[in-house]
Chains A and B, each alone.
Chain A
Amino acid sequence: MHVESMTLPVLASQPPIERRMRTISFRLRTFRCILEMLRPGIGGGLLVDLGAGPCLFAKLAAKEDFRVTAVDVRPPWNIDGSPLPLESLEGIEFVQADACKFDVSGFDIVSIVGLLYHLTLDEQIDLLTRCSGKTVIIDTEVFDDTAMSESARERIFPPADAREYNGIDWLETDHVWSSKGNRYSFWHTVPSLLRMFENTGARNVTMFGPQYRSAHGPRQWYLLNVPDIAG
């Protein structure tokens, strides 16, 4: 597997509002940069956005001319946690389903933004295996013992069954932005995450800098199987 690092021309901004919005804005701009690298031809690339939540990323992809299906185990919600009216999802198709069971085979691009770290290790492996060969956009928390916030530390457990991987089990909550019900999800260290990409069939990986931070710790964007590098 070929691994490449790339810095996107996205400034960690100081936008108007509070921290959470600042992070979302930064993530959306990063996502747009990545989409620009994958800009579809006529007819639009078929993109499925798994764990779409408020569908901000799905809508952005639709604006960038992708044909978008948004999938979430919950009905769509607003960033304040309230339910999002379906009519506001014009231009995208929303499917309420478990990403771990959703058939991604008909899509060109799979985006797994803010979802991977809400899945168990088995589910992650299974999902990525089903995506293998496709172009996959991933934005995920990663585990770095030196960089986790103090509050995050209290939700970290030694992994029950990490096999050849390294990382921790993360204690989930029952907020709308959390897991579908699994009490723990698995967070990889960066090397372990790359190993999982490789083991599930990725031919190349682009890691995007700069690494940024959530309230818990470091996060990063990845792109698997960029078409032209895959060659």
Chain B
Amino acid sequence: MAVASQAEIQKSVRAALKEGRHDEAKVTLAAALDRWPDAYWMLMLHAEVLKASGDLAEALAQLRAIHERFPDKHWAAQGVIRLLFEEDRQAEARAFFENAVWTSTVPDETKSQMITALSPRRGNLDETIAFLGRLLFASPGSPAVLTRLAMIRARQGLWDEAVSLLDEIAARGPVPEHARAIQADLLSGFGRFPEMLVIARELAAAHPHRVDYTHRVILALSGSGDHQEAAQVLKDAAARWPGDWRVLFRLNRIVPVQPLWDEAFAIIEASFNPATTYARSLFQFAVASLRQGKTEQSLIALDAIAQRGLASTHADPLQHVLGRFSPEEWRARMRLADDQTAEVQIVGVEGADTTIVIFGGIDFGLSSLPFGYVDALLSSYRANVVYLRDFAFRAYFEGISSLAPTAEQTLDRLREILERLGTRRLITIGYSVGGFAAIRYGAQLGAQAAISFGAPTTLEEEFEADSKPGVGYRPKALKRALSFRLTDETKDLVKDLAGTSTRVFCHYAAQYPAEVAHSNRLRDLDNVELRPLNISDHSVAMRAIADGILDRLLVEEIGVPVK
């Protein structure tokens, strides 16, 4: 009888294992090990047999012994870690990795994969960070560890630290590609748009089919103030991914440079099909249509959302508000040809001594309602209206660039406008960050009333309310992006309100912890009225309009005359 080779024996042991004949596998293997007591893969197979037959402790001991005998080969060490990991013995797995693998000659890619598996972004992150810290201590500057640490810091919301870790990696060499998208997002949170742009462009060039990378390019261009190119890239993206919600979302949030902006919308519109469009895109499409003055088309999109039975915190109240008039009546009531490219638009009313100033928010309207529609609603009042947008995306902290270069001078320009309109009484209104501006500018301009909806009251990003998850927006990211150039004193609205006579009507969602916490900061001020609405998301402005709360406030409490 021919003598079986090692390979043949291994094959037959594997076959026996596969069919559950563990004892037979053990016998065959024992004989082979007598003959080749030092054969690495035969020893490894022994561990495999032990594991397959449920003898985990023995399998582990065997693997450890192999690793001690053959420290240059990493398979046994890897086997130990995997076994421990499978048994949820994470601490032991980490300890073994630190002692036996980290400083060994195991290939870098293998180490890096293991580090990731051994440091998940859930569970006890303090222990995870301590583990990574120990690895760094043994090999300072390791890109694999720094990257992992950055990912975990980002997950914890400790962005400063995440960014400086990534900067540290970048200073030593290339940042691993998988971390680059996250790096780009973090940089945007710090207003470092030109750096973000470099990364986003590289990612988009390397992966032209990834709409999320192109989305980041547009965001970075906008943030860098290159609105022309942002609109161009957006238009190209619209042609490639016409129904993608990110493209529509960007369409609603970039500075509308014409004719590119209208052209991009036309491309999207041409292939729009309410039956096949993704719900999130439908909402963005509805808003974009309104900005083009296309009420009927917007209603079709909103209807499609409703018909699918999807409750949508933003679409429902928008649909409700639009239902107030027929499309013809909306058109008839609008006194303003809503110019999306204008930062300032004024509607003067003969004989009015009240002026309402609306601070447009991140999508340049009052919540999702574009100014044309806001104006149709306000047309029943004897009041002038001034509509503002901030194309610098700074929530008006740096003024309105088409009025003046600074906030100070912008206030002067606004005073002139108000005077020209014959203003004896001023009311400011804004939603979200626009609400913050409405309160701040209102106080400075001596407004009788400032009306805010879901507005933050401090841009101090460490303010704890923001770490709680909310629906629909990431207040922390937004505030960080807005406020990175502000001094600490100018981040807090409480200081603005002390000693002013402006009455603040602060509307917020009673079941949205972040909004509650922000609003509560104003609770002790005499001139502030807190107005909770019984909702749990960031849609308080649209709800207040839909439910007539804003109208009642203006007429019954503030006394704005009705025509």
Q: Which residues of A contact B (CB under 8 A)?
A: 13-18, 22, 122, 145-148, 150-151, 153-158, 160-161, 168-169, 171, 183-184, 210-211
Contact = CB atoms under 8 A, between A and B. Distances in A.
Interface residues of B, number: 32
Contacts of A16: 275-279, 308
Main SS at interface, chain A:
loop
Contacts, number: 72
Contacts of A15: 276, 278
Nearest 7 CB-CB pairs, A to B?
A: A14-B243, A158-B110, A146-B177, A14-B278, A154-B120, A153-B116, A158-B113
Contacts of A150: 121, 151, 178, 182
12 contacts: A13-B276, A14-B243, A14-B244, A16-B276, A145-B178, A150-B178, A151-B121, A154-B117, A155-B117, A157-B117, A160-B75, A169-B82
Contacts of B368: none
Contacts of B207: 147
Given A14-B243, A14-B277, A16-B308, A158 B209 contact: no
B452 interface: no
Contacts of A151: 121
Most buried by B among A15, A22, A184: A15
A169 B78 CA distance: 12
Interface in B54-105: 75, 78-79, 82, 85-86
A211 B178 contact: no
Interface string B302-322: 000000100000000000000
B201 to A, nearest CB: 16
A150 B243 CA distance: 26
Given A158-B110, A168-B113, A17 B279 contact: yes
B300 interface: no
Given A16-B308, A146-B177, A158 B276 contact: no
A146 B178 contact: yes
Contacts of A148: 178
Contacts of A183: 86
Contacts of A14: 243-245, 276-278, 281
B116 A154 contact: yes
B178 A153 contact: yes
Nearest to A25: B276
A148 to B, nearest CB: 6
Contacts of A154: 116-117, 120-121
A156 B281 CA distance: 33
A22 B278 CA distance: 9
Given A148-B178, A151-B121, A158-B109, 13 more contacts: A13-B276, A14-B278, A15-B278, A16-B308, A145-B109, A154-B120, A157-B114, A158-B78, A160-B78, A160-B79, A171-B117, A210-B209, A211-B209
Contacts of A210: 209
A158 B113 CA distance: 6
A17 B477 CA distance: 28
B86 to A, nearest CB: 6
B113 to A, nearest CB: 5
Contacts of B116: 153-154, 156
Nearest to B154: A150
Nearest to B278: A14
B504 to A, nearest CB: 40
A14 B274 CA distance: 10
B15 to A, nearest CB: 10
A7 to B, nearest CB: 11
Contacts of A153: 113, 116-117, 178
B14 interface: yes
A18 B305 CA distance: 12
B236 to A, nearest CB: 17
Nearest to A210: B209
B370 to A, nearest CB: 23
Contacts of A171: 117
A145 B113 CA distance: 10
A15 B244 CA distance: 10
Contacts of A145: 109, 177-178
A217 to B, nearest CB: 10
Contacts of A156: 113, 116-117
Nearest to A153: B116
A125 B116 CA distance: 28
A22 B187 CA distance: 31
A97 to B, nearest CB: 16
B21 to A, nearest CB: 15
Contacts of A157: 78, 82, 85, 113-114, 117
Interface string B28-65: 00000000000000000000000000000000000000
B155 to A, nearest CB: 8
Interface in B237-256: 243-245
Nearest to A149: B178
A156 B151 CA distance: 16
Contacts of A147: 178, 207
A155 B118 CA distance: 10
Nearest to B212: A213
B129 to A, nearest CB: 15
A175 to B, nearest CB: 17
A111 to B, nearest CB: 24
Contacts of B151: 150
Contacts of B121: 150-151, 154
Given A14-B244, A154-B116, A122 B14 contact: yes
B108 to A, nearest CB: 11
A16 B306 CA distance: 12
A160 B113 CA distance: 13
